[in-house]
């Protein structure tokens, strides 16, 4: 296990860093051990679109792809490559405005018999999420470190403290929570994400369709008014 801390990822806040673009527009970064980029794309039903030499080229292709849509795109581009980490090769998948690492069914499939970790931001006034899956199971997830969920929400508490996150309250002054999340991810994967790694990698690129909305059969209206009177009605789709 590495000894990474938030201090090792201070570079992400440099205005000249490629990660600054990710923080501005929103991103998802996913790491899965022992799964190839092509297998990631097969599982998610993505259409391959060749390769990009480095992150600059991938960003340009992503921007040109988004410009093809007059309104909100019905798909997004993901770029992925293999790098070394704890226990062998890991696929690093990155997308801007996408949601691969937040899709439960995909993460369950990627982590079956292995491990997958992701973190994300929606840009702007961000919501930032972290997910750790092991053997197809969501073990720990959080937006705020003190508000965790999963089958083992407290298992990473010691590691979180070591990287600069506080699982019981606010972080110490000066701690960059996003940098600390990258350090936590490194401790779980053994993959040191550097600006050089992202900038120089050969990305396999694929077009990922939006996740289909789940079918629903109806809705339930359950309201209790100020006088304690309760209204409870099941309404199926044919009645709407």
d(CA 108, CA 116): 8
pLDDT reading at 233 higher than 70: no
- Global confidence as pTM: 0.85
Do residues 234 and 73 lie in contact, with contact meaning Cβ atoms separated by under 8 Å?
Answer: no
Residue 71 or 43, more confident: 43
Residues recorded for the chain:
240
Q: Encode pLDDT of 137-156 as tens digits.
A: 999 999 999 999 999 999 99
Six-digit token string for 26 = 């929103």
Q: Give the start-to-end residue ranges of the domains of the chain.
A: 6-215
Q: Please tell me which of 118-127, 173-182, 206-215, 218-227 the model is most confident about, judged by mean pLDDT.
A: 173-182
Six-digit token string for 134 = 């092991």
Six-digit token string for 230 = 């309760």
Q: Which of 136, 139, 174 is nearest to 159 (CA)?
A: 139
Q: What is the pLDDT of residue 234?
A: 63
Q: What is the DSSP string of 181-210?
A: HHHHHHHHH-----HHHHHH-EEEEEEEEP
d(CA 170, CA 181): 14
- Continuous segment of H or E residues that includes residue 76: strand 75-85
pLDDT reading at 130 higher than 60: yes
């Amino acid at each position: 296990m590495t000894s990474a801390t938030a201090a090792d990822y201070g570079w992400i806040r440099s205005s000249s860093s490629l990660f600054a673009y990710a923080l501005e527009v929103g991103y998802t970064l996913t790491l899965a051990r022992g799964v190839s980029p092509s297998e990631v794309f097969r599982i998610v039903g993505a259409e391959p679109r060749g390769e990009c030499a480095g992150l600059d080229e991938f960003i340009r292709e992503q921007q040109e792809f988004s410009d093809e849509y007059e309104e909100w795109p019905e798909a997004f581009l993901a770029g992925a490559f293999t790098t070394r980490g704890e226990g062998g090769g890991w696929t690093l998948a990155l997308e801007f405005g996408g949601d691969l690492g937040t899709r439960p069914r995909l993460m369950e499939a990627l982590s079956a018999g292995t491990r997958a970790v992701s973190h994300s931001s929606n840009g702007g006034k961000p919501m930032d999420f972290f997910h750790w899956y092991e053997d197809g199971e969501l073990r720990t997830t959080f937006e705020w470190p003190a508000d965790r969920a999963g089958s083992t929400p407290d298992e990473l508490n010691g590691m979180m403290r070591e990287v600069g996150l506080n699982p019981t309250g606010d972080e110490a002054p000066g701690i960059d929570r996003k940098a600390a999340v990258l350090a936590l991810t490194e401790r779980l994967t053994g993959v040191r994400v550097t600006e050089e790694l992202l900038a120089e990698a050969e990305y396999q690129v694929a077009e990922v369709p939006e996740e289909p909305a789940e079918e629903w059969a109806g809705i339930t209206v359950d309201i209790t008014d100020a006088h304690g009177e309760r209204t409870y009605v099941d309404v199926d789709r044919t009645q709407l």
